[in-house]
Amino acid sequence: MNSSVWTLHYPSLPAASALLPIMIAIAILINNVLVLMTFKKMTGLQIQHYFMIGLTIADLMTVLPVSVTSFILLSRKIWLTNHLCAMLGISLNVAIEMTTLMHTAMSAEKCLAISSPLRHRSLSHSKWFRRSTNMSIAFSFLFPAIINFLLFFANLVRFIFSPAITTCVTDQSNNIISTLCIGVMFTFLPMIMQIITQVYMLVKVKKQRGVTRKQTIKAIKTVVLTVGVYWLFWLPVACQIGVVLFGSLPPGWYRFLALQIVQANSATSYIIYYTSLPNFKLSSDRLFGKRTRIIHVQQFNASDQNQTAITSIRIVPRSALVAPVMVSM
C-alpha cells in the first residue's frame, strides 16, 4: 500500500446528514467526560468500576471516526491516504472490539461474585485480583489493536472508504478467512460467553428467595443493563449481516443509520450508571452541587423467624433526612 497516493472521495449522502454524527459525537464526549469526572469523585472504587472506566475509554475512542464522518459530509469531499483510511478503520474496530471484550470480562466477574460471593469478596480486596483486573483491561485494548495492525501490515486485511456510510471500513472481500477469524474472536465467541453468563445470572436470581434474591438483583442490575443495551444497539447491524448472508445488500441510508446507532451506544453509559448505581448517583449529584446523602434503611421480613435484616441504600436530599427506618415487610 502506497500512502503517498491520495484519493478523492465523494460521499453519497447529503451534507445535512452530518447533523446526526455531529450530535452523536457531542453526546459521546459529554457522556463519557461526565462518567470519568463522577468516578474521579467516587471513593472506594470496586472491581466493576474499573471495568466501567475501561469501557468509558473505549467509548471515547469512537469520537474520532464519528467526527471524521461529520467532516466528510459537511465538506462533500475529503482526501484520504490508504494508511489514514486504515487508521480510521482500525480505531473504530479496536473501540468496538475492546467494548465487546470488556463486557465479557464484566459478565464473568459478576458471575464469580454471585456464584461464590465469599471467595469473590476476599479476592476483591487482594492486590493480585486488582492487578489481574488492570491486566484484563489492558489486554482488552492491546489484543484487538495488535491483531488489527498485524493483519493490516501483513496485507491480510484492507480498509476502504465507503461513500455509502462515509467512513473507512474493512474490505470483507479482500480476505474472507481473516475476516471470519476476527468475527469469531471479537464478536461470536464474546457474544456466546455473554449470553451464557447472562442466562446463568438470571437463572440464579430465579432460584433464589428473600434477602439473597434482592441482593443478587442489586448486584447484577448494572451489568445486565449495560450488556443488554449494547446488544440492543447492535440489532440493526445484526439484521444487516443477515441480509448480506442471503446475498443482498441493504441500501446505503440503512447502513449509515445502523453504524450511527451502534456508535450512539457509547453515549448511554452515564444514564445506565446513574439509574443503577447508588454511589455513582450520589457522586454525580455532588459533582453538580446537589446536597444529598446516602441513608441505610433496614427492612425485616416478617415471615422470617430469624428476622434477617435487609440493608438497602437510598439517596435523599439533606433537607429530607430522617432517622433510620425499621419497616416490616
Confidence at 190, pLDDT banded by 50, 70, 90:
confident
Does one domain contain both 305 and 259? no
Provide the residue range defining the domain that includes 312: 294-329
Residue 1 lies in a domain: no
Closest CA to 220 of 91, 117, 83, 98: 117
Give one DSSP letter per residue of 103-131, joined into a string.
Answer: HHHHHHHHHHHHHSHHHHHHHHTSHHHHH
**What pTM was estimated for this model as a whole?**
0.78
Q: Which position has the higher pLDDT, 196 or 188?
A: 196
Q: Which position has the higher pLDDT, 218 or 133?
A: 133
Residue 190 lies in a domain: yes
Type of residue found at 33: V
CATH number reported for the structural domain that contains residue 28 in this entry: 1.20.1070.10
What is residue 4's predicted lDDT score, i.e. its pLDDT? 47
Confidence at 34, pLDDT banded by 50, 70, 90:
very high
Residue range 28-57: mean pLDDT, rounded: 91
Inter-axis angle of helices 82-115 and 127-153, to 10 degrees?
150
Q: What is the dihedral of CA 91, 94, 99, 104, to 10 degrees?
A: 180
Residues 191 and 101: beta-carbon distance below 8 Å? no
Does one domain contain both 95 and 207? yes
Q: Provide the number of structural domains found in the chain.
A: 2
Does one domain contain both 183 and 303? no
- Highest-confidence segment of 49-58, 85-94, 198-207, 231-240: 49-58
Q: Which position has the higher pLDDT, 13 or 111?
A: 111
Average pLDDT, the chain: 78
Determine the distance from the C-alpha atom of residue 66 to the mean position of all C-alpha atoms in its chain, rounded to a whole number. Answer: 16
Do β-strands 6-9 and 78-81 pair in parallel, antiparallel, or remain unpaired? antiparallel
